[in-house]
Amino acid sequence: LFQVVHAHKPHFMALHCQEFGGKNYEASMSHVDKFVKELLSSDAMKDYNRARVYLDENYKSQEHFTALGSFYFLHESLKNIYQFDFKAKKYKKVTGKEIYSDTLESTPMLEKEKFPQDYFPECKWSRKGFIRTRWCITDCAFDLVNIHLFHDASNLIAWETSPSVYSGIRHKALGYVLDRIVDQRFEKVSYFVFGDFNFRLDAKAVVETLCAKATMQTIRAADTNEVVKLIFRESDNDRKVMLQLEKKLFDYFNQDVFRDNNGTALLEFDRELSVFKDRLYELDISFPPSYPYSEDSSQGKQYMNTRCPAWCDRILMSHSAKELILKVKNDEKIVIYDHIGPNVCMGDHKPVFLSFRIAAGAGKPIANVHKCCVVQ
């Protein structure tokens, strides 16, 4: 992360984390404070003299806990940065460094919601939800939404239909978030939505393509007759096993297909965002699938064979937000959408980042409406 900060020298930096504290919150949440202090006090971040940190650490609240963490760092060279108070419905100037944790429900500087339990009844205690903050920089107002959508509970169920039932659940949840951030309660502004969308490749189409010339063997449980495993073998070549599929196993014999040329041959199966093409925009993906990486610290590039690799982690934006981005300056590539630490183990997800400059004058036509910033 610090290497990326050093390379791109952002003046405003937003860092969105999901599953903060890891899976075992009771044991791991104590490490969170250390991580936050390291970020705020490190030499790499010394030029960021203002910060806002929002951590949902209240894991005892089953009703509200999302395990989301949103960090915002402001460079000392930036003047007049304002953050929106959703309760007072006005912008407030950002000064100093502040950390909000435990319960965020009483913090007026953000909106936080956990998705209703009935969205994903398979998961007894889901932590999926979103946190929204609103900012104004030199008359340019925008929302930043930290999001965590539902995962695939079973590879076998994901394989049954195209699009999968899980894709439908994510579609419903993302639609809810987009409707929520453009409803009538507040003025509409451009927005960026980024986090773990858990978008998956169309499993049925991927398997049919990878195993086009294979024969399928179905293994059922003796007591229930339920399908518990699918084995795809080459028709010839000594019936070599190409793919084994179980609830939490996706063991394909050649992982290179997911890494070669950043896996772009598989992008045609990344279809979940197409439903939202009228509402969301994404830059071209030029990095390999961001999940599921091995959690072995010596295997920074290796995927686990638990799920089909997919681009779960994304940075999306409204079409109006796309217009804020300065595309080219002196023929220099200044918009970069990439992943962080390609060779470094960081857990089962590989973080992604978007670096860009806001176009000169962006937001100026509505500056009189916002009345929130004065350029110095």
* 204 CB neighbour count, 10 Å cutoff: 16
Task: Give me the number of domains the chain comprises.
Answer: 1
Cis peptide before 342 (omega within 30 of 0): no
- Using CB atoms within 10 Å of the CB of residue 284, give its burial: 0 to 12 exposed, 13 to 18 middle, 19+ buried: exposed
Q: Which residue has the tokens 């939404």?
A: 145
**Residue 176: inside a domain:** yes
The residue range of the domain holding 304 is 1-199+262-355
pTM value is: 0.93
Question: Considering the domain boundaries, does residue 157 fall inside one?
Answer: yes
Q: Is residue 242 part of a domain?
A: no
How far is the C-alpha of 138 from the C-alpha of 81, rounded, in Å?
7
Q: Tell me whether residue 144 is in a domain.
A: yes
Instruction: Flag whether 243 is in a domain.
Output: no
**The two structure tokens encoding residue 297:** 């610290």
Residue 330 domain flag: yes
Quick check: is 27 in a domain?
Answer: yes
Q: How far apart are CA 253 and CA 331, in angstroms?
A: 43
- CA separation for the pair 216, 234 (Å, rounded): 9
Q: Cβ atoms within 10 A of the Cβ of 237, count?
A: 9
In eight-state DSSP terms, residue 165 is H
Question: Cis link prior to 121 (omega < 30° from 0)?
Answer: no
**What's the CATH number where 111 sits?**
3.60.10.10
* Tens of pLDDT, residue by residue, the chain (376 residues): 999 999 999 999 999 999 988 878 778 888 888 999 999 999 999 999 999 999 998 888 888 899 999 999 999 999 989 999 999 999 999 999 999 997 788 999 999 999 988 888 777 678 899 999 999 998 899 999 999 999 999 999 999 999 999 999 999 999 999 999 999 999 999 999 999 999 999 999 999 999 999 999 999 999 999 999 999 999 887 899 999 999 999 999 999 999 999 999 999 999 999 999 999 999 999 999 999 999 999 999 999 999 999 999 999 999 999 999 877 666 667 899 999 999 999 889 999 999 999 877 776 555 444 444 433 3
Strand segments (E) across 178-301: 190-196, 214-220, 227-234, 241-246, 249-252
Residue 244 within a domain: no
